[in-house]
Amino acid sequence: MKEFFNVRQVKYEGPESINPASFKYYDANRKVAGKSMRDHLKFALSWWHTLCGDGADMFGRGTAEKTFGGKTGLEIYENKVYAGFEMMEKLGIGYFCFHDRDLAPEGRNLAETNENLDCIAAAVQKEMKRTGIECLWGTANCFTHPRYLHGAGTSPNADVFAFAAAQIKKAIDVTIALGGRGYVFWGGREGYETLLNTDVGFEQDNMARLMRMAVGYARGKGFKGDFYIEPKPKEPTKHQYDFDAASTLAFLFKYGLEKDFKLNIEANHATLAGHTFQHELRIARVNGVFGSVDANSGDSLLGWDTDQFPTSVYDAALCMYEVLKAGGFTNGGLNFDAKARRGSFTPEDIFYGYIAGMDTFAKGLLAADKMISDGRLEGFIADRYGSYRTGIGKDVVSGKATLETLEAYALKMGEAASNASGRQEMLESILNALIFNS
Ligand code: XUL
Ligand code: CO
């Protein structure tokens, strides 16, 4: 078989290695808390950035070659399949995620577009069989084509809604055919530019209608995986309805979708919403809708979604802490929704990006495991709420207390007992030490 990358199998060489094409921390078979790193982390390749994104931005053309030697439309997309699987094999990545339009180009009409997709999906299926690599999740790209200029499920144009529905139906078919564990809704254009032309309530009702149709259809076809909403506050629209985890939760509960949907939390989307990555994961976890992760990072000096490969061990540690506390991934995993910078345009640069991301999360996993086994951080939190385990606090939690009984208690009390320090700096110092020593 033709080789696309002049890169050897990337191996674990340990933290002392100076070989940039090796893992320093990601040792796939190493056991952490009874499970291999491979099974904890469930790394996935993003088809769009890795095999399609050529570095084009608003001010400049592409800088990276992504035709993989193909001459015609379909030949290019078929070569992406072979290149993608070669890359995943060489990096030891077990999963991939895709949009319908990353896999195959649009034809002259929907029927031809669907044929293109079936043709490339067949090649993907063969490669999956050969390598044992699996599909983490699929999705429909309902944001690139000009027909979606006012949205897809939230478009004011019913014809566009119908087209989106047809596209999603096919994307679900392909996800099921590839054994995908999840199906993602990321509402890139499901929001608004101005309220002057927008019926917010109607648009959200329609989005929920489309999601219900998708659930009904997929479950009818035997899909047992999870649906995910991937929150993002803005970009490309000024305001996206799935702004952050909390607003997405409100949407899911309002429309009764919370049993089928979980959240796919992306680091750079969290920071765009003015939250930390950990905050978004925590909100998903404590509300029982933690599902999957789009691992990347933004740039603190830029106000848009830069989709950089994640290199902050600190953020990765806090992410993996939330993942471990959620009981680990079930259908989800860590999808690198990340791309090399425009100036890093060679194929090797993408390998270095994945290596950096995988090592960062391997170290993050080790640190998260330490955070839990060490027990000091969690012990501190448990103590902090200790007043609710006895006396009046216990009555509050059990539901026995009322405003009247609490008033009677307060009147007798004089002044409330003195507050304890929150010890933030001490806890931050403990966290640093745990990361350094992991
Ligand atoms: C866009 C983004 C998407 C979703 C899938 O910011 O993150 O690539 O992950 O549509
Ligand atoms: Co994403």
The string of pLDDT tens digits covering residues 334-354 is 999 999 999 999 999 999 999
Degrees to nearest 5, angle at CA 375 with 371 and 377? 70
pLDDT of residue 1: 75
pLDDT in tens, 288-339: 999 999 999 999 999 999 999 999 999 999 999 999 999 999 999 999 999 9
Ligand 1, atom 4, lies closest to the CA of: 186
Catalytic-role residue among 99, 269, 275, 279: 99
By most ligand atoms within 8 Å of CB, the mutation choice from 51, 141, 266, 271 for ligand 1 is: 266
Catalytic-residue membership of 279:
no
- The per-residue pLDDT for 391 is 97
Q: Does 186 contact ligand 1 (Cβ within 6 A)?
A: yes
Q: How confident is the model at residue 415 (pLDDT cuts 50, 70, 90)?
A: confident
Q: What is the predicted pLDDT for the residue at 106? A: 97
pLDDT at 40: 98
Average confidence score pLDDT of the chain? 98
Burial 354-379 (b: 16+ CB within 10 A, else e): bbbbbbbbbbbbbbbbbbeebeebee
- Torsion sign across C-alpha atoms 168, 169, 174, 180: positive
- Which atom of ligand 1 is nearest the CA belonging to 141? 10
Atom of ligand 1 nearest to the CA of 48: 8
Let me know if 269 is a catalytic residue: no
Say if residues 424 and 384 touch (Cβ distance below 8 Å): no
pLDDT at 172 over 80: yes
Identify which of 169, 168, 163 has the alpha carbon closest to the alpha carbon of residue 150.
163
Here the tokens at position 146 are 């000009």
DSSP secondary structure, 87-132, as one string? HHHHHT--EEEEEHHHHS---SSHHHHHHHHHHHHHHHHHHHHHH-
Alpha-carbon distances, residue 140 vs 85, 175, 241 (angstroms): 21, 10, 18
CA 308, CA 298: separation in Å to the nearest integer? 6
* Residue whose token pair is 């929920």: 208
* The pLDDT value given to residue 417: 81
Domains of the chain in sequence order:
11-365 (3.20.20.150), 377-436 (no CATH)
CB 162 within 8 A of CB 125: no
The neighbouring-strand residues paired with 376 are none
Residue 241 confidence (pLDDT)? 98
Average pLDDT over residues 173-194: 98
* C-beta 100 within 6 A of ligand 1: no
